[in-house]
């Protein structure tokens, strides 16, 4: 089954557009792709007519040209016939936006779609989903563009059973500077499931990290998924819903999934090298960290700070997550002390954390960073950069990032995320250094590297 046309279509038919309601989901999809994406778009409605001056086709098989992707936004009982028309037309794939299938008790109708598509080896996403957002390619989300916040193009793919969770994650990706290669809402996942998407993304050159929001698996789906994840050379991150009895009940009513025994599934994830995120903060931190460093080790952490309190909090967080913060040897401390500015040479604490104090200047941060990169005692550097210091400029983050590019160890940063400090944040992000707005988030970024390297 070829999934490529789903994510990079040259032509798109939108089935179910309204001739009177421009806010209809199908119209939203049609308009945004017509105006903002490089696909040729065809509107379909049984009544025909015109829409935005373009001919409306009465059926997809009435379109003269070849179609790569069909988006179906019709009443559930009309979808099987339309799917069959797509197959007869030799459309290469579909997204079924429509709800009213297994999640609404109509398993029979969903099975009918599955039978039609399986017989023809015809891939479709859904039903009961938002579908696909491929940056600069196509957007089948039925949400108006002015309401959406999209992250920049990047190397993280996100697959979600929930469209709402997916849209929420895209907003947070944008806020955290995490770049996106592909976003797919799979809804009821009648045909194309996590396993097939994982196999596709494992070979996608634009994707380096694959993240999933999973509500549950059908029979044998979980086994197939974890086996595919074990074979995947890229980091696979999973955030699982349905951890409690109440959550399992909500999952079942949402996408008719079987949540299963969470503890068993969590243990299997760890056994098969899947990085499990327990919540959104972990998911965001893991995605940002692993998008920059897919194969780096991070067990022994060296910390640089200008505030003793921040350093102590970072140490506590590291130890709570099973990381080590080793004391630097006296000889290393002496060598570093001799290289620091005279004003802080006698007051800086250099055991680890390296507390440069509020009197430090940029050269002190650069010197301390280089020292930890060279140290055999640490394999990852965590820098807590407080923008308030009078001795630093907004160029410091870019300068430190240049040092990281020459090192063979990962660098993770903490900077408070407010617009006033945007240049410091950008200095890290433009150079692919993960940066978090919280100490806990920064330590989670480190933990992701450790868990990935331990797989």
| Domain layout of the chain by residue ranges | 1-127, 149-292, 295-454
Give CA–CA dist 21/2, Å, rounded.
35
Instruction: Please determine, looking at this structure, whether the domain spanning 149-292 carries the CATH number 3.40.50.261.
Output: yes
Q: Please report how many Cα atoms fall inside a 13 Å half-sphere around the Cα of residue 154, on the Cβ side.
A: 26
- So what's the pLDDT on residue 247? 43
**Fold: same for 1-127 and 295-454:** yes
- So what's the pLDDT on residue 159? 98
Is residue 208 within 8 A of residue 293, CB to CB? The reply is no
Write down the CATH number for the domain with range 1-127.
Answer: 3.40.50.720
pTM over 0.75: yes
Q: Please report how many Cα atoms fall inside a 13 Å half-sphere around the Cα of residue 235, on the Cβ side.
A: 30
Give CA–CA dist 311/301, Å, rounded.
12
- So what's the pLDDT on residue 455? 61
- So what's the pLDDT on residue 255? 46
- So what's the pLDDT on residue 260? 58
With a CB cutoff of 8 Å and minimum separation 6, the contacts of 318 are 301, 303, 324, 325, 382, 443, 446
How far from chain centre, in Å, is Cα 69? Answer: 24
Mean pLDDT by 10 residues, the chain (455 residues): 95 97 96 96 96 94 97 97 97 97 95 97 98 98 95 98 97 96 97 97 98 93 94 96 58 47 87 93 97 92 98 98 97 98 97 98 98 97 96 96 95 94 94 96 96 77
Is residue 80 within 8 A of residue 98, CB to CB? The reply is no
CATH architecture for residues 295-454: 3-Layer(aba) Sandwich (3.40)
């Amino acid at each position: 089954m070829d999934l490529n046309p789903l994510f990079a279509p040259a032509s798109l038919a939108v089935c179910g557009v309204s001739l009177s309601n421009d806010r209809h989901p199908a119209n939203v999809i049609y308009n945004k792709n017509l105006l903002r994406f490089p696909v040729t778009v065809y509107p379909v409605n049984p009544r025909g007519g015109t829409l935005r001056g373009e001919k409306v086709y009465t059926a997809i098989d009435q379109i003269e040209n070849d179609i790569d992707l069909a988006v179906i936004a019709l009443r559930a009982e009309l979808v099987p016939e339309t799917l069959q028309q797509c197959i007869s037309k030799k459309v290469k794939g579909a997204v079924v936006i429509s709800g009213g299938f297994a999640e609404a008790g109509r398993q029979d109708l969903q099975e009918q779609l599955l039978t039609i598509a399986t017989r023809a080896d015809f891939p479709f996403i859904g039903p009961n989903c938002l579908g696909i957002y491929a940056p600069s390619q196509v957007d089948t989300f039925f949400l108006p563009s002015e309401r959406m916040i999209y992250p920049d193009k990047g190397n993280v793919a996100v697959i979600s059973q929930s469209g709402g969770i997916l849209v929420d994650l895209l907003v947070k990706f944008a806020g955290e500077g995490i770049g996106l290669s592909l976003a797919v809402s799979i809804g009821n996942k009648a045909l194309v499931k996590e396993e097939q998407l994982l196999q596709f993304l494992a070979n996608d050159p634009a994707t380096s990290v694959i993240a999933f929001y999973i509500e549950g698996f059908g029979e044998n789906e979980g086994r197939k998924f974890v086996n595919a994840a074990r074979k995947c050379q890229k980091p696979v991150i999973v955030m699982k819903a349905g951890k409690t009895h109440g959550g399992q009940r909500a999952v079942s009513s949402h996408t008719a999934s079987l949540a299963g025994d969470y503890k068993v599934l969590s243990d299997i994830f760890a056994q098969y090298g899947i990085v499990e995120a327990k919540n959104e903060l972990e998911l965001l931190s893991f995605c940002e960290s692993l998008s920059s460093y897919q194969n780096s080790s991070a067990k022994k952490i060296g910390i640089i700070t200008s505030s003793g309190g921040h350093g102590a909090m970072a140490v506590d967080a590291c130890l709570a997550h099973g990381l080590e913060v080793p004391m630097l040897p006296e000889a290393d401390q002496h060598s570093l002390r001799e290289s620091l500015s005279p004003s802080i040479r006698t007051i800086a604490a250099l055991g680890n954390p390296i507390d440069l104090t509020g009197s430090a200047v940029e050269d002190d941060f650069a010197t301390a960073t280089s020292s930890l990169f060279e140290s055999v005692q640490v394999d990852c550097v965590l820098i807590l950069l407080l923008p308030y210091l009078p001795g630093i400029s907004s160029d410091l983050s870019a300068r430190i990032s240049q040092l990281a590019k020459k090192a063979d160890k990962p660098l993770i940063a903490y900077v408070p995320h407010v617009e006033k400090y945007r240049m410091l944040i950008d200095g890290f992000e433009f150079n692919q250094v993960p940066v978090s707005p919280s100490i806990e988030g920064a330590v989670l970024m480190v933990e992701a590297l450790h868990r990935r390297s331990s797989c």
